[in-house]
């Protein structure tokens, strides 16, 4: 163990040992991206996470020392260490940690050159700007603007920058003036080791809507199976659907054959009338 | 559907839809009449307001019906 | 609609819808035949695929009152 | 509708829908059998592909307003 | 669907849908009766208003339903 | 509906839906198993193409009030 | 879908959908459990109203019918 640290000065060794010790106390050890988080907000996020996760900023060289010492998948974490990364220690389900970090994110204005993670849409309507050079600035940023009733008005809703594209300086300036904040601020989980496995954001990011859709599909499948196979259930809704299906089948047969019986005679008349009408036309 | 066409024809001629009238029309069309089906048809139509059944058919949405295709 | 029903009847009997057959059916139903309407009907149906024309006509939805029957 | 249910039952048992089988089922249900209705039923089903007929939407779909309910 | 058809047949005969009546009808149709299915069916129908369920069948499209797949 | 979920789970595991497999799953979910319901389930699914049955959409009962539209 | 079926089975048993309960059900069905998939499932469902998602299924066939136009 000491082979990595014996040549380090005492305070550095202590720092490495503290990381290793923390890693031993928690089920989840990972790296978060703290890029662009103002100090005050960073403190706020740390307080919000109190009890569920600990964020620790440490020198990258020492973090790497610690990961090397821990071995196994921790060595893979080294590949995710960056100048904006910090350590995070937590317990429990890594998917839940990812979700809770996403939920603590807020938005900030974009800087020139940044890539927007979502479409930036500027809605049509009045602004609070008085007529002036702002009209030209808006137009240069691709936002159609005009003066209307002594105020600057945006003429139509416009997607200024598409998700995944860089925001140029003119756009960034105008968006800031419009108070549009497209950039998420908060801790982004870069990688986490949990029970000997490394988890990356592409796996950890759960699409809840997709799960909802699957539940709906499963419920639909169960209903279909119950009705189509006439499985007896304790659900009156299903029993009613089974009866309705049988009745419809009987009516369909009655009309198609046709079988002149009371329950279907009106439908047969209706069909004959419609056929006559179709032929008439 | 020939039995119901016959019944509707008789009905639209202003006659009572009975076994005799339906048979006469079917025979005139050259259809070999099955007595039991004529009986069943007349029995099924007993108490049915044909005009009302037709008016419901006319009122029902045709456009939606196409969706069933 | 009686002329159309007559045509449908003749068609479902497997016969050609011509003036004679339509007239026979209408007469059997006790309808005073209008020669020119029969002519017009036969002319209108000339070249029409009757099976296809009627195949799309579904029955109208059953009314709730009837549904209980 | 009881005669139609009887026919469906016989059919789903994998049997031919004939007078005898339909009567047996109706009697078992405690229904006084009307020979002529049974005959009419069997005659109506002669040549009909029952599987296809039951799955064919004979009636038009419910109006859109209702479907949204 | 044969168990449901049997229940509907018994119901339309004006009888109570119980194990005995359903079994009698299924047997008459030549269907080997599964006691547990009959029991489960009768239990499932307990608390369901069959008349109301029938009225809910109102012309819902069978063919279109397949589109939900 | 838990018995049917159990059946689907067994099916999606590539296993035959039989009494034993369904019971094992229900028990694991902490459900007190009713033998007769399991039997009824397995009997109902016997010979059923589950893939087809789950993907063929069944219509939900339509409210009576709406059906009159 | 087997993880979803397992979760819904646990849910319909009135139990909390957690890692342990889902794993128990999957294992009982003979499915080799992938721990991380179970974890993802549990985390995802933590914020999902299962009843609401299920209730959307009931209305689905009707909605589809209307959409078929």
- Kindly give the pairing relationship between strand A158-161 and strand A120-122: antiparallel
Position D28 pLDDT exceeds 70: yes
Position D68 pLDDT exceeds 50: no
Position B65 scores a pLDDT of: 37
User: Phi, psi (5° rounding) for residue E60?
Assistant: -65, 140
D29 confidence band (pLDDT: 50, 70, 90): very high
Mean pLDDT score, E38-53: 94
Nearest to C7 among A263, A268, A279 (CB): A279
Smallest CA–CA distance from A197 into chain G, residue: G36
Position E57 scores a pLDDT of: 80
Give the lowest-confidence range in C8-22, E36-50, G48-62: G48-62
CA distance A148 to A137: 17
G66 confidence band (pLDDT: 50, 70, 90): very low
Tokens 């149906």, located at residue:
C45
* Nearest partner of F2 among A33, G20, A211, A222, judged by Cα: A222
Mean pLDDT score, F5-13: 97
Residues 6+ apart with CB under 8 A from B55: none
Give all chains having 3 or more CB-to-CB distances under 8 Å with chain G: A, B, D, E, F
Give all chains having 3 or more CB-to-CB distances under 8 Å with chain D: A, B, C, E, F, G
Mutation target among F36, F40, F48 for the E interface, most CBs of E within 10 A: F40
Yes or no, beta carbons of D12 and E29 under 8 Å apart: yes
Position B66 scores a pLDDT of: 34
Domain A2-105+186-206, classified CATH 1.10.10.10, yes or no: no
Chain D residues within 8 A of A229 when measuring between CB atoms: none
Position B36 scores a pLDDT of: 96
Position C67 scores a pLDDT of: 35
Chain D: nearest CA to A209, how far in angstroms?
A: 23
* Nearest partner of A134 among A166, A169, A178, A168, judged by Cα: A178
Number of other residues whose CB lies within 10 A of the CB of residue A51: 8
Position C66 scores a pLDDT of: 36
Mean pLDDT score, B21-40: 95
Nearest to B44 among A265, A271, A276 (CB): A265
Tokens 């109301």, located at residue:
E52
Which ipTM was obtained for this model? 0.87
The domains located in chain C, with CATH, are: 2-67 (1.10.10.1410)
Chain C residues within 8 A of B45 when measuring between CB atoms: none
Mean pLDDT score, E1-27: 96
Residue A86: strand pairing partners? A32
E68 confidence band (pLDDT: 50, 70, 90): very low
8 A C-beta contact, residue A251 and residue A264: yes
Position D58 scores a pLDDT of: 63
Question: Helices A262-280 & C2-12, crossing angle to 10 degrees?
Answer: 100
Position E4 pLDDT exceeds 90: yes
CA distance C23 to C35: 8
Give ∠ CA A196-A201-A205 in degrees, rounded to 5. 110
Using a 10 angstrom Cβ sphere, with 0-12 exposed, 13-18 middle and 19 or more buried, the burial of residue B29 is buried
B60 confidence band (pLDDT: 50, 70, 90): low
Mean pLDDT score, B18-22: 95
Position A47 scores a pLDDT of: 87
For domain A120-183, give the CATH superfamily. Ribosomal protein L10, N-terminal fragment, domain II (3.90.105.20)
Residue F21 gets the label, from left (phi > 0), alpha (psi -120 to 50) or beta, of: alpha
What pLDDT tens digit does each residue of chain A (281 aa) get?
445 556 778 888 888 888 999 888 999 999 999 888 888 888 888 888 888 899 998 888 899 989 998 888 888 888 999 888 999 999 989 999 999 898 888 888 899 999 998 899 999 988 888 888 888 899 888 899 888 888 899 999 989 999 999 999 999 999 999 999 998 888 999 999 998 889 999 999 989 999 999 999 999 999 999 999 999 998 898 999 999 999 999 999 999 999 999 989 999 999 999 999 888 86
Whether the bond between B68 and the residue before it is cis, its omega within 30 degrees of 0, is no
Position G59 scores a pLDDT of: 52
Give the lowest-confidence range in A186-200, D33-47, G4-18: A186-200
Position E1 pLDDT exceeds 80: yes
Tens-digit pLDDT profile for residues F19-68: 999 999 999 999 999 999 999 999 999 999 999 999 988 887 765 443 33
Mutation target among G60, G62, G64 for the D interface, most CBs of D within 10 A: G62
Position F66 scores a pLDDT of: 39
Average pLDDT over all residues of chain E: 85
CA distance A100 to A95: 9
Using a 10 angstrom Cβ sphere, with 0-12 exposed, 13-18 middle and 19 or more buried, the burial of residue A252 is buried
B51 confidence band (pLDDT: 50, 70, 90): very high
8 A C-beta contact, residue A110 and residue A170: no
Give ∠ CA F3-F7-F9 in degrees, rounded to 5. 115
Residues 6+ apart with CB under 8 A from F20: none
Yes or no, beta carbons of D65 and F62 under 8 Å apart: no
Give ∠ CA A30-A33-A34 in degrees, rounded to 5. 125
Nearest to E28 among D12, D25, D59 (CB): D25
Position A3 scores a pLDDT of: 54
Mean pLDDT score, G40-62: 82
Tokens 């999957």, located at residue:
G26
Q: What is the CA radius of gyration of chain E?
A: 14
User: Phi, psi (5° rounding) for residue A198?
Assistant: -100, 135
């Amino acid at each position: 163990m000491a082979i990595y640290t014996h040549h380090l000065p005492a305070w550095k060794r202590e720092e490495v040992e503290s990381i290793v010790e923390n890693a031993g106390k928690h089920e989840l050890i990972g790296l978060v991206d703290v890029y662009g988080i103002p100090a005050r907000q960073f403190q706020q996020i740390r307080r919000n996470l109190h009890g569920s996760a600990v964020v620790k900023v440490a020198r990258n060289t020492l973090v790497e020392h610690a990961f090397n010492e821990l071995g196994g998948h921790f060595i893979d974490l080294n590949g995710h260490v960056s100048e904006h990364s910090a350590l995070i220690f937590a317990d429990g389900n890594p998917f839940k940690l990812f979700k809770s970090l996403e939920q603590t994110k807020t938005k900030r204005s974009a800087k020139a050159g940044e890539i927007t993670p979502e479409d930036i849409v500027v809605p049509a309507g009045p602004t609070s700007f008085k007529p002036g050079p702002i009209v030209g600035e808006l137009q240069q940023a691709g936002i159609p603007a005009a003066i209307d009733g002594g105020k600057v008005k945006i003429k139509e809703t416009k997607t200024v920058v598409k998700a995944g594209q860089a925001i140029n300086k003119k756009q960034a300036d105008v968006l800031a003036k419009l108070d549009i904040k497209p950039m998420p601020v908060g801790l982004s989980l870069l990688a986490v080791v949990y029970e000997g496995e490394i988890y990356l954001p592409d796996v950890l990011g759960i699409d809840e809507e997709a799960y909802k859709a699957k539940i709906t599909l499963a419920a639909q499948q169960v209903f279909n199976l119950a009705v189509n196979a006439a499985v007896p259930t304790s659900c009156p809704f299903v029993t009613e659907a089974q009866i309705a299906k049988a009745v419809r089948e009987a009516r369909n047969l009655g009309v198609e054959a046709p079988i002149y019986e009371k329950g279907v005679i009106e439908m047969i008349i209706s069909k004959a009338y419609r056929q006559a009408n179709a032929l008439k036309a | 559907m020939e039995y119901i066409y016959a019944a509707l024809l008789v009905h639209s001629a202003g006659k009572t839809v009975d076994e005799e009238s339906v048979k006469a029309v079917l025979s005139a069309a050259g259809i070999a009449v099955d007595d039991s089906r004529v009986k069943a048809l007349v029995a099924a139509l007993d108490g049915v307001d044909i005009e009302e059944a037709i008016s419901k058919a006319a009122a029902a949405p045709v456009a939606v019906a196409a969706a069933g295709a």
